[in-house]
């Protein structure tokens, strides 16, 4: 026979009544085998009428019994019922009987029915030998003494309170437990999390705005901030405010995808937006012509181009703002020095995302430095894993929690030939959780010209994708190399082409993971439980 169970098992639900706590202790100690009990079961019926049973007892073969608890010294005088001398609003059993009928109808809504249902009364503070004379109550009342030997007293009360059982319908005891409500862990679907994010990802918070206000009086400012600290948003807002003050403003960034995103965000502001390389080449081509010899992928070509542009450029801007400053070469900073001569210069950088060890801002260009507070873009668990790849500690508990709530996952892919298929499957899985295709970004850890990289195709499974600099990137699935994702973000990021043997693997992973606003998936070779590619233990 099944072991008796009382819910809650550790302590009764919060109740003003000490009488209910007394009954809970008696049930926990003496409930007969086969029975299950729930304290304080509340329901709302189809007419939005609320009801509560002090205790509901159930047996799979015998049925459902509601126990109504009346505390204090209970007595009946002149046909009326009193507790400690105060008249009761309702006679004992009335409330329990009403709730038993309402609960039975609620179970019917689920196509369920117990073998029988009824009600009984408990007077835990009252001692008596004989049952009340009122016929409706005779045999269905438990007092203080009966609670002490409940296992022996309850069967007689059940026989009196419940009619003969009939065949039950449905999983009525499981539905009772569901109505009572043992566990509720709040959770949003992945799609709902994206919708909740809304425009918050495009807005500066109060701390960021305060930082900007405090820096506006400075002409030469170098701002340092980690991934998600709002560097790009602050760079854009700084450029906008300078332009609003009547200044001619140049905003420089490193990649074409970021330039196009900034153009949309700053449309109509009067800010001129260029990549450093694009501006340098345009300056030189305007004087030397476009048929210059040289390999556009060679460092030597760009070193010469930056140096020549620095000699040729006009000082026609009142303010120059630089984003992703950690990626600019020495020669590129030499051009920035020339462009900003006699003008304001603000630059934003993150050493943690620096892919080239020999690149950093020129410190002598700045008289003021400022460090932004810790970034909040990534969910804690994703950010913690990214921190590990950057050489930090990373909170193991936050990572484990992210795995549990599905904001972070390793998608096992035993063969590099199957990476595109696994990525496509993960895209479909996210779509099934109401995530939009435009909320997903695929980040390859390989370079732009690397053969076989996932971003060289046109489709991932049934889904066409575009690159990060495509005019419709905001409305499309995007797949591109990690460097071209810098400064950009997506609610969900799928990291692909994961090869631990590539140079600066940890930095690549850090950049990729910190693009995620809600969650990240890493498609890689299987790892031991709790382990991640390229990380020990």
DSSP string covering 180-195, please? H---------HHHHHH
In a domain, residue 269? The reply is yes
Pick the closest to residue 346 from 259, 218, 205 (CA basis): 218
Establish if 482 belongs to a structural domain. Answer: yes
Looking at the fold, whether 436 and 485 belong to one and the same domain comes out as yes
- Asked if residue 464 is part of any domain, the answer here is yes
**Domain limits at 224?**
206-371
Of 519, 506, 188, give the one whose Cα is nearest residue 380. 519
The reported pLDDT for the residue numbered 394 is: 86
Q: Are residues 92 and 119 in the same domain?
A: yes
What is the token pair recorded at 261?
Answer: 């995103």
Residue 439 CA from chain centroid, whole number:
14
Q: Dihedral, CA atoms, 149, 153, 155, 161, nearest 10 degrees?
A: -140
For the stretch 444-457, pLDDT in tens is 999 888 888 999 98
The closest of 103, 70, 61, 93 to 161, measured between CA atoms, is 93
Same domain (yes/no): 149, 16 = yes
Question: Are residues 385 and 401 in contact, defined by beta-carbon separation less than 8 angstroms?
Answer: no
- Binned at pLDDT 50, 70 and 90, residue 301 comes out as confident
| Cα separations in angstroms, 411 against 403, 455, 523 | 12, 18, 5
Mean pLDDT of 459-481: 92
Residue 254 makes CB contacts below 8 A (sequence gap 6+) with 275, 276, 323, 324, 327, 328, 486, 487
Phi-psi region of 350 (alpha: psi -120 to 50; beta: other; left: phi over 0): beta
The answer on 414 and 341 residing in a single domain is: no
Number of structural domains (the chain) is 3
Residue 28 lies in a domain: yes
Statement: residue 134 has pLDDT above 90: yes
Provide the CATH number for the domain around residue 415: 3.40.50.300
The residue among 65, 141, 49 whose CA lies nearest residue 97 is: 65
Cross-sheet strand order for the sheet of 516-524: 408-412, 516-524, 490-496, 440-444, 478-481
Closest residue by Cα to residue 515 from 492, 534, 532, 533: 492
Both tokens of residue 531?
């382990």
313: three-class secondary structure by DSSP: coil
289-315: average pLDDT: 84
Same domain, 393 and 417: yes
355 and 393 inside one domain: no
Name the pLDDT band for 1 (thresholds 50, 70, 90): very low
Specify the 3-state DSSP secondary structure of 502. coil
Residue where one domain finishes, among candidates 336, 371, 406 = 371
Separation of alpha carbons 442 and 459, rounded Å: 12
Name the pTM for this structure: 0.60
Mean pLDDT along residues 39-57: 85
- pLDDT at residue 447, rounded to an integer: 86
Q: Is residue 195 in a domain?
A: no
Instruction: Kindly report the backbone phi and psi dihedral angles of residue 290, in degrees, each rounded to the nearest multiple of 5, phi listed first.
Output: -95, 0
Tell me, what DSSP letter sits at residue 113? Answer: B
Same domain for 291 and 143?
no
Query: 82-115 as b/e, with b when 16 or more CB fall inside 10 Å?
Result: ebeeeebeebbbbbbbbbbebbbebbeebebbbb
Mean pLDDT of 16-27: 93
Same domain, 396 and 364: no
For residue 432, the 8-state DSSP code is H
- Bridge partners, 493 (sequence order): 441, 520
* Residue-wise pLDDT tens digits, 389-437: 988 888 899 999 999 888 999 999 989 899 999 999 999 999 988 889 9
Question: What mean pLDDT do residues 351-365 have?
Answer: 87
Determine contact, residues 505/499, Cβ cutoff 8 Å: yes
Contact status, residue 438 vs residue 477, Cβ threshold 8 Å: yes
Q: What three-state secondary structure class fits 419?
A: helix
- The answer to whether 532 and 402 have CB atoms below 8 angstroms apart is no
Averaged pLDDT score across all residues of the chain = 89
Q: Starting from the edge strand earliest in sequence, which strands make up the sheet with 86-87, in order?
A: 74-77, 80-83, 86-87
Q: What is the widest separation between alpha-carbon atoms in the chain? A: 114
Q: Is 69 helix (H, G, I), strand (E, B) or coil?
A: strand
| Higher per-residue confidence, 361 vs 530 | 361
Structure tokens at 55: 């205790």
Contacts of 342 (CB under 8 A, 6+ apart): 315
Q: Which segments of 11-113 does DSSP mark as H helices, in order?
A: 18-30, 94-108
Query: Looking at the structure, do residues 140 and 232 belong to the same domain, yes or no?
Result: no
Same domain, 72 and 123: yes
Chosen domain end from 371, 398, 415: 371
Residue 200: how many CB atoms within 10 A of its CB? 9
396 and 356 assigned to the same domain: no
More confident of the two residues 245 and 202: 245
Residue 529 lies in a domain: no
Pair 414, 435 in one domain? yes
| Helix and strand numbers, DSSP H then E, in the chain | 16, 22
More confident residue, 192 or 364: 364
Token reading at 277: 């390389």
State pLDDT tens for residues 59-109. 999 999 999 999 999 999 999 999 999 999 999 999 999 999 999 999 999
pLDDT band for position 297 (50/70/90)? low
pLDDT band with cut points at 50, 70 and 90 for residue 379: confident
> How much of the chain exceeds pLDDT 70, in percent?
91
Q: Answer positive or negative: Cα dihedral of 478, 487, 417, 421.
A: negative
- Read off the pLDDT of residues 163-203 as tens digits, 9 standing for 90 and up: 999 999 999 999 999 999 876 666 656 666 666 655 555 55
The answer to whether position 19 is within a domain reads yes
Whether the CB-CB separation of 194 and 439 falls below 8 Å is answered with yes
Q: Which helix (H) or strand (E) holds 250?
A: strand 249-253
Nearest alpha carbon to residue 187 among 196, 178, 179: 196
In a domain, 117, yes or no: yes
463 forms beta bridges with 460
């Amino acid at each position: 026979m099944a072991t008796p169970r009382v819910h809650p098992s550790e302590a009764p639900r919060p109740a003003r009544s000490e009488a209910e706590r007394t009954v809970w202790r008696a049930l926990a100690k003496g409930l007969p085998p086969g029975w299950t009990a729930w304290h304080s079961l509340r329901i709302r019926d189809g007419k939005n009428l609320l009801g509560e049973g002090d205790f509901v007892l159930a047996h799979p073969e015998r049925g459902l019994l509601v126990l109504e608890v009346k505390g204090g010294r209970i007595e009946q005088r002149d046909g009326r019922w009193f507790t400690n001398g105060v008249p009761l609003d309702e006679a004992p059993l009335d409330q329990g009987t009403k709730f038993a009928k309402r609960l039975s109808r609620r179970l019917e809504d689920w196509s369920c029915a117990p073998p029988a249902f009824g009600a009984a009364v408990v007077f835990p503070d009252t001692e008596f030998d004989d049952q009340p004379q009122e016929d409706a109550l005779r045999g269905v009342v438990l007092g203080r003494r009966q609670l002490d030997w409940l296992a022996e007293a309850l069967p007689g009360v059940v026989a009196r309170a419940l009619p003969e059982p009939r065949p039950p319908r449905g999983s009525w005891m499981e539905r009772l437990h569901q109505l009572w409500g043992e566990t509720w862990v709040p959770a949003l679907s992945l799609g709902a999390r994206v919708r909740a994010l809304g425009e918050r990802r495009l807005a500066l918070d109060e701390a960021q705005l305060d930082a900007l206000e405090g820096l506006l009086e400075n002409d030469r400012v170098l701002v340092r901030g980690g991934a998600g600290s709002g560097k790009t948003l602050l760079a854009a807002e700084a450029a906008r405010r300078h332009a609003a003050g009547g200044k001619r403003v140049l905003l420089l960034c490193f990649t074409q995808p970021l330039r196009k995103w900034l153009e949309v965000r700053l449309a109509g502001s009067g800010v001129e937006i260029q990549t450093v390389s694009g501006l340098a080449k345009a300056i030189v081509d305007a004087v030397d012509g476009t048929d210059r010899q040289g390999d556009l992928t060679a460092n030597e070509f760009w070193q010469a181009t930056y140096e020549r542009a620095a000699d040729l450029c006009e000082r026609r801007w009142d303010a120059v703002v630089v984003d992703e400053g950690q990626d600019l070469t020495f020669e590129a900073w030499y051009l920035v020095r020339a462009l900003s001569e006699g003008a304001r210069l603000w630059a934003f950088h993150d050493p943690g995302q620096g892919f080239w060890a020999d690149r950093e801002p020129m410190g002598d260009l700045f008289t003021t430095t400022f460090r932004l507070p810790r970034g909040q873009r990534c969910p804690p668990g994703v950010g913690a894993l990214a921190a590990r790849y950057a050489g930090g500690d990373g909170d193991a508990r936050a990572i484990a929690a992210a795995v549990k709530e599905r904001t972070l996952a390793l998608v096992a892919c035993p063969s590099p030939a199957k990476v595109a298929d696994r990525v496509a499957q993960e895209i479909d899985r996210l779509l099934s959780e109401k995530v939009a295709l435009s909320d997903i970004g695929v980040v390859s850890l390989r370079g732009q010209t690397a053969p076989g990289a996932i971003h060289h195709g046109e489709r991932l499974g049934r889904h066409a994708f575009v690159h990060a600099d495509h005019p419709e990137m905001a409305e499309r699935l995007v797949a591109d190399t990690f460097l071209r994702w810098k400064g950009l973000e997506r609610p969900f990021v799928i990291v692909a082409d994961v090869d631990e043997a590539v140079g600066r693997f940890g930095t690549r992973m850090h950049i990729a993971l910190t693009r995620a606003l809600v969650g990240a998936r890493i498609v890689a070779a299987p790892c031991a439980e709790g382990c991640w590619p390229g990380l020990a233990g």
